[in-house]
Amino acid sequence: MSNTSLILGESGTGKSTSIRNLNPKETFIINVLNKPLPFKGYKANYTRVSPDGLTGNYFSSLNYDHIILVLKKINAIRPEIKTIVLDDFQYLMCDEFMEKALIKGYDKFSEISQNAYNLLKMLPLLRDDLDIFILTHSEMDERGKMKMKTVGKMIDSHLVPEGMYFMVLQTDLSDDNYYFITQGSQRHIAKSPMGMFEERTIPNDLAFVKNKMSEYFGATAWTSVYFN
């Protein structure tokens, strides 16, 4: 079972930037919108996956079936890949919603939630040595608490992604500094295993998070690669 986590945050609060220090030799990025990544050197370090899936560490698609196929190949034939980043999950739901916007009735919402659930459910079932980070947008619910952004209440009634994973980190921007929140509050939905992090706020750095997970679960600590 993989270590799968959610990274929630509003646009511009450091979700994609948190990828910057991951080792590209061991990292595979699924960039849903194919948008430029906001850190130096990403094009040189992340190249498109080959048709056979044997080389490359970057893939872009809004198609669930294509993403699932790539994930299965990584799981089966790419043992060197230790980290998968899915950025930005919310747009998979958004794209399907817009494609079905003119279809009347509520069945389309059930289909959207089912497709999202199938992918979210699959990720923890991948290899034990994989760390998987799902980056996605957040929004405030009617109670004033942050949650994963979806495409409406009909989806929310079927799907609670935050409950599917052991860790949910939420971005925070304070005094022009970017952080992850590790524990929840009246407003925040973040959660992490007891004692994994010493502080309630940590650097917005997925390499740092990987090392903390490795230390906590008893694996060998991972060495970060920094791009300056």
| The pLDDT of residue 122 is above 80 | yes
**56 belongs to a structural domain:** yes
Task: Report the candidate in 75, 91, 180 with the shortest Cα–Cα distance to residue 132.
Answer: 75
Query: CA dist 129 to 92, 97, 157, 206, Å?
Result: 26, 34, 33, 16
Domain presence at residue 201: yes
pLDDT above 60 for 115: yes
Helix (H) / strand (E) containing 92: helix 90-99
Distance CA 128, CA 188 (A): 29
Mean pLDDT of the chain: 88
Residue 154 CB-density burial (10 A; 0-12 exposed, 13-18 middle, 19+ buried): middle
**CATH number for the domain that contains residue 117:** 3.40.50.300
Phi, psi dihedral angles at 59 (to 5 degrees): -145, 145
pLDDT value, residue 154: 65
Q: Is residue 224 part of a domain?
A: no
Domain count, the chain: 1
pLDDT of residue 79: 96
**What is the extent of the structural domain holding 99?**
3-217
Lowest mean pLDDT among 41-55, 90-104, 145-159, 190-204: 145-159
